[in-house]
Amino acid sequence: MTASFVLPLSAPLLARIGVVGATFVVAGFVKGVTGMGLPTVAMAVLGTLMLPAEAAALLLLPSFVTNVWQLFAGPGVRALVQRLWPMLAGIVGGTLVAAPFIAGGGGVWAVAGLGAALTLYAAAGLRAWRLPVPARHERWLAAAIGAVTGVVTGGTGVFVVPAVPYLQGLELKKEELVQALGLSFTVSTIALAIGLASAHAFALDDARESLAAVLPALAGMWLGQRVRGRIGAASFRRWFFICLLGLGLELMTRAFV
């Protein structure tokens, strides 16, 4: 008779698994309700517990899978790519340039930058800021917005500023906006993965842990989509941005205390 032994997981590892799983359930839920927010919520919460580079590596696969799901949930992907390619190219370029900063740890500046990005995004959401986009300036403005978004993505792991206010300013239909956000976030995720890997900040062990976070993220997103029509979207978004503002301010404060 052969005895088999299973090594017990240590308490710190169990705690980490629980926190990461719960974080991605909540982040997926927010994305299911609002169409965005998974990487932002994940970075906001995990950034209080670990280095921004480690948190960014964790969110890569859940972000990629959920954004591809969102991107192909409706028609018109080709038309969006043709319209938004200057912004997408800027995102890739800016992310690859800035990724070595977060990959290198960045010290307190990486944490402060993450807090500042979250605070700015929360303020923009609470104030309902939209960037005015005159049609005659759209192409060059898209490239500039993409480049700035890429620098923020590469430096902090947050994909949303200023891309989200810009996309909201294009006066897209609701379904088009959701797909445009999915497209922008998908490209940002791929560019960040390449940037982190090039800087040797994303390895096989990171990929395994990131893969393990996909299921909680999908479960949260599915749940968020189910309850989307049953809760007040405006109230939900307001409290989401208030919580995000608090996390952003906490990160900036902690970075210099």
- pLDDT exceeds cutoff 90 at 87: yes
Residue 184 burial by Cβ neighbours in a 10 Å radius (0-12, 13-18, 19+): buried
Looking at residue 243, what is its pLDDT? Answer: 86
Grouping H, G, I as helix, E, B as strand and the rest as coil, residue 227 is helix
Range with lowest mean pLDDT among 74-83, 85-94, 125-134: 125-134
- Name residue 130's amino acid: R
Q: Are 204 and 166 in contact (CB under 8 A)?
A: no
Name the H helices within 104-156: 107-126, 138-156
Q: Are 186 and 68 in contact (CB under 8 A)?
A: yes
Looking at residue 218, what is its pLDDT? Answer: 94
Q: What is the mean pLDDT of residues 92-111?
A: 82
Both tokens of 223, joined, read: 């749940």
- pLDDT exceeds cutoff 50 at 240: yes
Looking at residue 5, what is its pLDDT? Answer: 45
Q: Are 216 and 18 in contact (CB under 8 A)?
A: no
Q: What is the mean pLDDT of residues 223-246?
A: 82
Looking at residue 213, what is its pLDDT? Answer: 94
Is the omega angle on the peptide bond into residue 162 within 30 degrees of 0, that is, cis? yes
pLDDT digits (tens, 9 = 90+) for 215-227: 999 999 999 888 8
Both tokens of 187, joined, read: 């490209």
Looking at residue 241, what is its pLDDT? Answer: 87
* Cα–Cα dist 44/168, whole Å: 22
Q: What is the pTM of this model?
A: 0.84
* Cα–Cα dist 20/244, whole Å: 18
Percent of the chain whose predicted confidence (pLDDT) is above 90: 35
Q: What is the mean pLDDT of residues 188-198?
A: 93
Looking at residue 228, what is its pLDDT? Answer: 75
Q: Are 209 and 58 in contact (CB under 8 A)?
A: yes
Tell me the CA end-to-end span of the chain in Å, nearest whole number. 59
Query: Higher confidence at residue 202 or residue 68?
Result: 68
Q: What is the mean pLDDT of residues 224-243?
A: 80
Instruction: Give Dmax over CA atoms of the chain in angstroms.
Output: 78
Name the H helices within the chain: 11-34, 38-46, 52-71, 77-103, 107-126, 138-156, 163-168, 174-198, 204-212, 214-227, 233-255
- How far is residue 15 from each of residues 19, 22, 62, 108, measured CA to CA in Å? 6, 11, 20, 25
Both tokens of 60, joined, read: 């890569």
The overall average pLDDT reported for the chain is 85
pLDDT digits (tens, 9 = 90+) for 10-22: 667 788 889 999 9
pLDDT digits (tens, 9 = 90+) for 104-126: 766 577 778 888 888 998 898 88
Looking at residue 175, what is its pLDDT? Answer: 80
- pLDDT exceeds cutoff 50 at 211: yes
- pLDDT exceeds cutoff 80 at 251: yes
- How far is residue 221 from each of residues 25, 33, 193, 205, 238, measured CA to CA in Å? 7, 8, 22, 25, 19
pLDDT digits (tens, 9 = 90+) for 139-189: 899 999 999 999 999 988 888 889 988 998 888 887 888 889 889 999 999
Q: Which secondary structure element, helix H or strand E, spans residue 3, and what is its range?
A: none
Main-chain dihedrals φ then ψ at residue 173, nearest 5 degrees: -65, 160
When pLDDT is cut at 50, 70 and 90, the band that residue 233 belongs to is: low
